[in-house]
């Protein structure tokens, strides 16, 4: 039986219930850790499920940052230093990745607190997550403030990518299933995707 729910009824829902519904209703989401370093070089890492592809030439990604109503270490570090990393989360360390969503004190490194390994290259100032098989180094490009609710859409340019050789197909695709990369549903459910089918370029 198809249920119809209008905006007025959505707004009357209990907040946690509405949050669960609205976070699950848009579908599966990418599961990434974003790494940054503070001015005083404390390595910060936090889980995000809003990373989206913006373009390939130049390579650009975006993600949604919650409103700045409380201090947001990731935002602060990106604006202070101009760089961040995006690291795919796999089944091997998803519990530790989830734990980064806890509210740690400002001078605590979530890498240490959650048992994750910061990894640096000589060419990028933000920390990668050593456990991740697909790591992207980005340079801050622009930000857009969403008037409707105060969230911020951050755009970064990919300036470096690190991944295991064996994941790369001859056509440029990365084998995310082989890498054990997960998807997220709702706020806290982690999923293992399995390939159903690959379809060709569609023509009328």
Touching a copy of itself, residues 52-71 (CB under 8 A)? 52-62, 64
If binding is defined by CB under 8 A, does position 140 make contact with a copy of itself? Answer: no
Distances (CA, A) of 75 to 48, 61, 173: 12, 15, 30
Is 148 one of the binding residues for a copy of itself (CB under 8 A)? yes
- Scan residues 113-132 and list those touching a copy of itself (CB under 8 A): 113, 121, 123
Task: Note whether 168 binds a copy of itself by CB under 8 A.
Answer: yes
For residue 98, state whether it binds a copy of itself (rule: CB under 8 A): yes
Overall residue count recorded for the chain in this entry: 204
Measured distance CA(77)–CA(36) in Å, rounded? 6
> Residue 104: how many CB atoms within 10 A of its CB?
17
Piece of the chain touching a copy of itself by CB under 8 A; list 22-30, 37-45, 74-82: 22-30
Choose the stretch contacting a copy of itself; rule: CB under 8 A; options: 35-43, 75-83, 166-174: 166-174
List 17, 41, 106, 115, residue binding a copy of itself (CB under 8 A): 17
Q: Is 95 in the site for a copy of itself (CB under 8 A)?
A: yes
Between 77 and 87, CB nearer to a copy of itself: 87
Pick the piece of the chain touching a copy of itself (CB under 8 A) from 35-43, 74-82, 95-103. 95-103
Say which DSSP state 175 is in. Answer: -
Binding segment for a copy of itself (CB under 8 A), chosen from 34-42, 68-76, 77-85, 142-150, is 142-150
Question: What is the three-state SS of 43-96?
Answer: EEEEEECCCEEEEECCEEEEEEECCCCCCCHHHHHHHHHCEEEEEECECCCHHH
Among 41, 68, 115, 191, binds a copy of itself (CB under 8 A): 191
Q: What is the dihedral of CA 74, 114, 137, 186, to 10 degrees?
A: -70
Which strand (E) or helix (H) includes residue 126?
Answer: strand 124-129
């Amino acid at each position: 039986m198809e249920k119809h729910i209008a905006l007025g009824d959505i707004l009357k829902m209990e907040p946690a219930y509405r949050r669960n519904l609205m976070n699950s209703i848009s579908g599966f989401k990418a599961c990434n850790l974003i790494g940054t370093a503070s001015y005083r070089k404390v390595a910060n890492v936090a889980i995000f499920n809003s990373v989206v592809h913006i373009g390939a030439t130049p390579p650009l990604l975006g993600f949604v940052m919650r409103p700045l109503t409380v201090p947001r270490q990731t935002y602060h570090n990106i604006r202070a230093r101009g760089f961040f990393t995006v690291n795919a989360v796999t089944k091997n360390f998803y519990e530790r990745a989830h734990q980064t969503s806890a509210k740690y004190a400002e001078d605590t490194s979530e890498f240490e607190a959650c048992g994750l390994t910061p990894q640096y290259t000589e060419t990028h100032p933000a920390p990668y997550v050593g456990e991740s098989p697909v790591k992207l180094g980005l340079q801050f490009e622009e930000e857009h403030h969403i008037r409707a609710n105060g969230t911020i859409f951050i755009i970064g340019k990919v300036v470096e990518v690190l991944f295991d050789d064996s994941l790369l197909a001859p056509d440029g695709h990365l084998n995310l299933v082989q890498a054990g990369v997960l998807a997220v549903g709702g706020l806290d459910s982690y999923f293992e995707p399995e390939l159903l089918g690959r379809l060709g370029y569609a023509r009328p």
